Amino acid sequence: LARYHPMKDHPTFLRAAQAVVAQRADTHLVAVGRGVAESAELAVLVQALGLVGRVHLRAETTDAALFLAGLDCAVSSSYSEAFPNVVAEAMACGVPCVVTDVGESAAIVGDTGVVVPPRDPARLAAAILERLSLSPRARAAVGQAARARVIDLYSLRVAARRYRALYDVLSSSLLERQSTPCAE
């Protein structure tokens, strides 16, 4: 679930998809996002990699949670990110994640996800296959651990508490400065 943009690195995702489908012909991979369905580059690559019928390029969705909840594994193949919201959103839906080691991705998934180097389709494919090889019960357990992690670390309640603590520190500092006489 990513807009079509070079840093999202859809080509690495598609090359990894080729390796995944070679190992598991029953697999379907879906790329969804603004500009994805309209991208001639992605359509040509899907064709060239022999992925027609196995990789589905779709337009942006209005219900990300519904889409994400239907996945067996969420993948972020970006070569540059800050805080990829989609990873936290997938985890909140109880979906195991495979991410590239960019930005805060590794910190977000922690030990509930698989982290691989960016721009490495072979490692990305191996990680996807590892997640897909889990039994449904094991995959659900990983997904629930991911959900618990994102709620414990990144929920609105936690963010509000952290902002409150920051504001308390800042206001205390400001009050201290105001009560200290200026040096002459």
**DSSP-derived 3-state class of residue 89:** helix
CB burial class (10 A; 0-12, 13-18, 19+) of residue 84? Answer: buried
Q: What are 152-162's pLDDT values in tens digits?
A: 999 999 989 98
Q: Which residues pair with 56 in a beta bridge?
A: 30
- What pLDDT, on the 0 to 100 scale, is given for residue 180? 65
Question: Which pair of tokens denotes residue 8?
Answer: 């999202």
The sign of the torsion formed by the CA atoms of 37, 15, 142, 3 equals: negative
How far, in whole angstroms, is CA 66 from its chain's centroid? 15
Other C-beta atoms closer than 10 Å to the C-beta of 37 total: 16
> How much is the pLDDT for 178?
76
**Is residue 148 over pLDDT 80?**
yes
State pLDDT tens for residues 108-145. Answer: 999 999 999 999 999 999 999 999 999 999 999 999 99
pLDDT digits (tens, 9 = 90+) for 21-52: 999 999 999 999 999 999 999 999 999 999 99
* Residue count of the chain: 184
What distance in Å separates the CA atoms of residue 109 and residue 98, rounded to the nearest whole number? Answer: 8
